[in-house]
Amino acid sequence: MLGLMQNWPLTVDKILDHAAKWHGDVEIVTRSVEGPIVRTTYAEAHTRAKRISNALKGLGIKSGDRVATLAWNTGRHLEAWYGIMGIGAVCHTLNPRLFAEQLCYIINHAEDQIIFTDLTFLPVLAEHRAKMPSVKHVVVMTDAAHMDDSVYPGALCFETLVADNGADCEWGGFDENTAAGLCYTSGTTGNPKGVLYSHRSNFLHTLVTLGADVMGFSAADVLLPVVPMFHANAWGMAFSAPAVGAKLVMPGAKLDGASIHELLESEGVTFSAAVPTVWQMLLTELREKQAKLSTLKRVVIGGSAVPEAIVRGFRDEFGVDVTHAWGMTEMSPMGTLASPNQATLGLDAEGQLRLKLKQGRVPLGVDMKIEDDADQELPHDGKTFGRLKVQGPFVAAEYFKGDGGQILDEAGYFDTGDVATIDPDGFMQITDRAKDVIKSGGEWISTIEIENLAVGHPKASLCAVIGAAHPKWDERPVLLVKLKDGESASKQDFLEFLEGKIAKWWTPDDVVFVDDIPLGATGKIDKKLIRERMKDYVLPTAVAKKVSA
Ligand code: AMP
């Protein structure tokens, strides 16, 4: 027997319809790419997005066609998203931090027909134009006054399209399982693979992320998504902000500490989300200027493990609560958040802080398990670590065009490629990426744990740990340290700093000081490149072993 409730397909166009109808006057504030602060409202964004839908139809875009965006977080970018998705086309977010070759690969693989872009990225697109045969039009998200036809001859102007098209356009009306968005993974192993979100998966992700234990913001909040719309959907905030009618502040191209701080203060931001490096820059800026955060209450930090110093800094110096989150492109992206539960309520401030450093618990809509290499499920004892697998209605079932083949196990779980523990209270902690974990004498050593401790050394700016070949133990850890400007330190300083904080056999066999620790396109330490750079490196302990053997 079927239920007798209304059939109301979960399509994301309904989110902006709702925002326009019930929160129509709420502002979307943008630091525009051209410079000035620009203000619109949900009602205006709704109308403008519909005009973009009509423009797309006029340019021949049909349901299922891929339309890309290569852009900063701005009001226009948001309008483009809804304009594309509202008519059943697929919004493909391109990450401008990728190398041009990778961008071309992704554009060709997705067969993008139109690219919406900012003035910033127009020269790159122009340079590689010949390598993107599927792209019929480029739309520059600016006004006529800023168009320069010599950069990309024939490019279209966003504001001209808005002005020239009517706002009367039917949105939705299709199956909720219709594809809505496409985002490629970072491609640290092989070519990037496409994750194809559906309207239903985005809608459900939105509802789940609004839970009090997840992002938990409300209509009374002012949000500043520093997390880019081009990486893991800005953690869903372009959907969840209009869904509740929160004021939205878009930072545009300026993501440095000073610019973010200015917006936080001038717009009364209460909630923000970003990767740790952004917050590190902001904290440095605030300390240098002895500035305050007068309205910010809560930040969600994820994308890579949050260092303890950031959580303490926000809490003790600025009274801002940090929630640590974990997720991935394949999960839309939210997976877990370190919000307290009944079991942890009684913890003192230090206990709460330890908990915040874990990646956290799953909300309804995500399930997880840890398994060993023989697919045997491991206990939730907070110590045993294994491959982390996840399942849920907003987790990828396969990659676009079948790349990578079958990606789910027999029980329908997706292997995240992360290695983690789960404690008896349900808190998951990432100990490594499966491909980075160091296998020493048959046991695993967590590179992330050593890195997080080492970076707490007052002279360290950035730390990375990789495994180096060892004749007896297979692999042993090497700590790479980039010191803060003007600092000097010895190998011994760092080894002594780690002493007592990690098991003795986890102690790095060597400390190497480097000028640069490379970060990948999504701000994570690029271990693949580090391993490449260190390919001729020989551990001092391995040499000693060879000599004595
Ligand atoms: P992406 O798909 O680019 O967002 O990358 C997802 C990956 O980033 C995850 O599989 C993790 O390896 C890593 N990651 C995300 N959040 C965290 C976190 N809070 N702590 C540690 N690693 C994280």
Q: The domain that contains 39 carries what CATH number? A: 3.40.50.12780
User: Among 149, 171, 206, where does a domain finish?
Assistant: 206
444 is an active site residue: yes
Does position 332 have pLDDT exceeding 80, yes or no? yes
Cα(334) to ligand 1 centroid in Å equals 10
Does any domain span residue 219? no
Q: Is residue 358 a contact partner of residue 423, using CB atoms and an 8 Å limit?
A: yes
Q: State mean pLDDT over 448-462.
A: 91
Q: Report the CATH number at residue 505.
A: 3.30.300.30
Structural domain contains residue 132: yes
Residue 284 included in any domain: no
Taking the centre of ligand 1 as the mean of its atom positions, its distance from the CA of residue 511, in whole angstroms, is: 25
Q: Which of 154, 179, 206 is the last residue of a domain?
A: 206
Q: Classify residue 374: in a domain, yes or no.
A: no
Question: Which domain covers residue 138, as residue numbers?
Answer: 8-206
Give me the pLDDT at residue 107, please. 98
* Share above pLDDT 90 across residues of the chain, in percent, rounded to a whole number: 85
Residue among 176, 267, 330, 475 flagged as catalytic: 330
Reference 349, options 309, 315, 306; nearest CA is 315
321 Cα to the center of ligand 1, angstroms: 21
What confidence tens digit (pLDDT) does each residue in 167-178 have? 999 999 999 999
Place of tokens 């090497």: 478
Amino acid at position 439, single letter = K
Residue 524 has pLDDT above 90, yes or no: no
pLDDT at 547 over 70: no
pLDDT at residue 189 is higher than 80: no
Is 450 among the domain residues? Answer: yes
* Cβ neighbours of residue 466 closer than 8 Å, sequence gap 6 or more: 436, 438, 447, 477, 478, 480, 527, 530, 531, 534
Mean pLDDT of the chain: 94
For the segment 129-147, the average pLDDT, to the nearest whole number, is 98
pLDDT digits (tens, 9 = 90+) for 231-288: 889 999 999 999 999 999 999 999 999 999 999 999 999 999 999 888 988 999 999 9
57 an active-site residue? no
pLDDT at 545: 45
Domain boundary among 162, 186, 206: 206
Atom of ligand 1 nearest to the CA of 333: 4
Q: Is 77 part of any domain?
A: yes
- Residues with Cβ < 8 Å from 540, sequence gap 6 or more? 509, 510
In a domain, 140, yes or no: yes
Pocket mutation for ligand 1, best pick of 328, 330, 339 (most atoms within 8 Å of C-beta): 328
Look at the chain and report how many structural domains it folds into: 2
Distance (Å, whole) CA 414 – CA 437: 19
Which residues form ligand 1's pocket by a CB distance below 6 Å?
Answer: 185-186, 232, 302-305, 324-329, 333, 359, 416-418, 430, 433, 522
pTM above 0.85?
yes
Amino acid at 116: F
State which ligand 1 atom lies nearest to the alpha carbon of 305. Answer: 20
Q: What is the pLDDT of residue 543?
A: 67
For residue 404, CA distances in Å to 105, 368, 424, 486 come to 16, 21, 34, 46
Whether 98 is covered by a domain: the verdict is yes
Which atom of ligand 1 lies at the shortest distance from residue 302's CA?
A: 19
- For 501-520, how does the pLDDT look when each residue is reduced to its tens digit (9 = 90+)? 888 889 999 999 999 999 88
